[in-house]
Chains A and B, each alone.
Chain A
Amino acid sequence: MMRLLLAIIALAVVLAVPAFAGEFWTTLLTQIMIFALLALSADLLLGSAGLFSLCQASFFAVAAYTTAILQVRHGVGTLIAAPAGVLAGTLLALVFAFAVRTRGVYFILITLAFGYIVWGVAYRWASFTGGDNGVTNVPLPAIGPLRVTGTTQYYYVVLVVVLLCVWAYRILTASPFGLSLRGIKSSETRMRSLGYDIGRHLYMAFVLAGVFASIAGVLYVYHNRFINPVAGSFPVSVEAVLMAIIGGSGTILGPFIGAGIVLILRNWVSGFFHYYTGMLGIVFIVTVLWAPKGIMGLIARWKSGDRGEGV
């Protein structure tokens, strides 16, 4: 009952944001939701299956590039360009998902290398991707007579899409499939001896995470209105994982809290401090050393009354 009330209040607040908070916060919150979705996709692998992927930005970028190129260069409408973006990201995920043949360090290093392939192609294949300049002047989305004309409207579009994704994510993680992923995370040998096809489960999880990342990518390109190789770079991938961990890996709210913290910090700090990346580095270090279970972990510890070393 309490939770339902809280959820309703939270929903009312996010719905009302554009009305009282002004353009700056509306834009920032749109960005937070988009990156929270990316963080959620990283956490589908990390929180549920225990796989640390460093190439989520690849699907994000490929989806964004596909949508941008279709819209800008070929004049294709949003109705086709947006799903095509998600499709392209998903196809890439189908290929990269072979990384689940490996575990542990090898998985981390391979996904990192995969991420660099995408970044490298985006950066060097300038005749197609626009190289360093990327693709600019992406229009706001429009389907037939329905046009998004400003940040406020786009905020609601992102809100609806992200809420739908969260809903799907919940169903997914609570399903037998999601539960067997958690089983694999806690003991792969046990699940294997119980007769589960580990490889197929992880492959599916990887592809589904790719779908979420691709949706985030399409949302991003319409928000940002341009796309360049930075979107597919290593820092974006690792930042997505960091967001999930700061908030609390394995929870739904965690990635949102994490994305909020990281992006608000970035906006606030960039105003007066030149060295944002270095500060982000300190956030990485502090999180790992003192809050490995993130904000949600701290809350859970506080609730259970445990003041000791809970980790």
Chain B
Amino acid sequence: MRSVILQAINGISLGALLFLLSSGFTLTFGLMRVVNMAYGAYYLLGGYIGLTIARATGSFELAIVGGGLAVVVLGYGVDRFLIRPIGSNHLAQVLLTVGVAFVIGEVCLAIWGGDNLKIPTSAYLRGSIVLPGELYYPKYRFALILFGIFAAISLWLLYHKTQIGAVVRAGVDDREMVNATGINVDRLFVLVSALASFFAGVAGVVGGAFLTLNPGAEWDILVLALVVVIIGGLGSLEGAILGSVIVGLLDAYGRWLLPEFSYFVLFGPMAVLLLFRVTGIFGKEH
């Protein structure tokens, strides 16, 4: 029973991290039909830059902001100079962004080496708290859950209650029509993409403090984020929220109950879901 609860918290905290990464992926896809496989590499790079900042300044908060902003700059360059010229061909987008991810991964390896690195957090986030029933649990993971909830709520409010959000939603539904009403969707996309890159970089820093940063981590996390997006439905924010929690829980319980087949536990339900509902829970035909 104790383990069941602990694994549930583990799963939800991983879900919070996955939400940061998958929300960006799903919204940029929804708006511009861009498949960017480099988000995993953005995550890793953001994490490493955060690590360097945290080591230099000793501030975890500064690391989060710095890691996020560094990735915004990179993400803009990739969007503007590499993805935009090739148009809406998904095959080309996937190959191109996989190439970008390979290059980023290699640069990270050259700079930060191949060891498993962890980002030091602030003092108030260390140690553990005691839950009812003598359950000890790391404070950091609780903070992460709160952070994830905060991010989800603010994104949801931005998406559903503001003018910018309304335009983005309209763009997801029918880009040509929004363009025709005189709104510059390309410029809007720069904004959404910057937000997505920022979230990916931030995810790298907060993730790098409890998972480790190492070469290959970019693909591990990207695949989880993709499953979130597939389960939730491409282009749906609600889907990303629900999908993150589901994937986080599946991963935690899978690793605990069936360690040898944990990937199967993760992808099996996804495959079954897709047989009955091709576009995920909240997705639309694209």
Contact = CB atoms under 8 A, between A and B. Distances in A.
Contact of B230 (A54, A109, A280, A287): A109
A210 B136 CA distance: 49
Given A101-B278, A113-B226, A281-B101, A108 B35 contact: yes
Given A110-B274, A124-B263, A245-B95, A281 B90 contact: no
Contacts of A121: 260-261, 263-264
A238 B94 CA distance: 9
20 contacts: A52-B94, A105-B35, A105-B234, A108-B35, A108-B90, A108-B94, A109-B226, A109-B229, A112-B223, A114-B271, A238-B94, A245-B95, A278-B103, A278-B106, A281-B102, A281-B105, A285-B103, A288-B92, A288-B99, A292-B92
A116 B267 contact: yes
Interface in A263-297: 275, 277-278, 280-285, 287-289, 292
A287 B267 CA distance: 31
A52 B35 CA distance: 13
A126 to B, nearest CB: 7
A209 interface: no
Contacts of A102: 274, 278
A241 interface: yes
A281 B260 contact: no
Contacts of B261: 120-121, 124-125
Interface string A8-39: 00000000000000000000000000000000
B107 A106 contact: no
Interface in B247-268: 259-264, 267-268
B168 to A, nearest CB: 19
B46 to A, nearest CB: 18
Nearest to A239: B98
A36 B105 CA distance: 26
A289 B278 CA distance: 31
A127 B260 CA distance: 9
Task: State the 9 A-B residue pairs at the shortest beta-carbon distance, nearest first.
Answer: A284-B99, A120-B263, A278-B106, A281-B102, A281-B103, A281-B99, A285-B99, A288-B96, A125-B260
B91 A117 contact: no
Contacts of B100: 281, 285
Contacts of A119: 263
A275 B262 contact: no
A52 B90 contact: yes
B182 interface: no
A110 B283 CA distance: 15
A126 B260 CA distance: 8
A169 B118 CA distance: 50
A242 interface: yes
A282 B99 contact: yes
A113 B234 contact: no
A277 B216 CA distance: 12
A98 interface: yes
Contact of A105 (B29, B105, B267): B29
A98 B271 contact: yes
A113 B268 CA distance: 10
B286 interface: yes
A104 interface: yes
B76 interface: no
A110 B230 contact: yes
B86 interface: yes
Contacts of B101: 281
Nearest to A113: B267
Contacts of B270: 110, 113
Given A113-B226, A117-B263, A52 B91 contact: yes
Nearest to A275: B106
A280 B270 CA distance: 31
B106, B110, B259, B262 interface centre (most CB from chain A within 10 Å): B106
Given A120-B264, A124-B259, A289 B90 contact: no
Contact of B219 (A105, A127, A234, A281): A234
Interface string B153-181: 00000000000000000000000000000
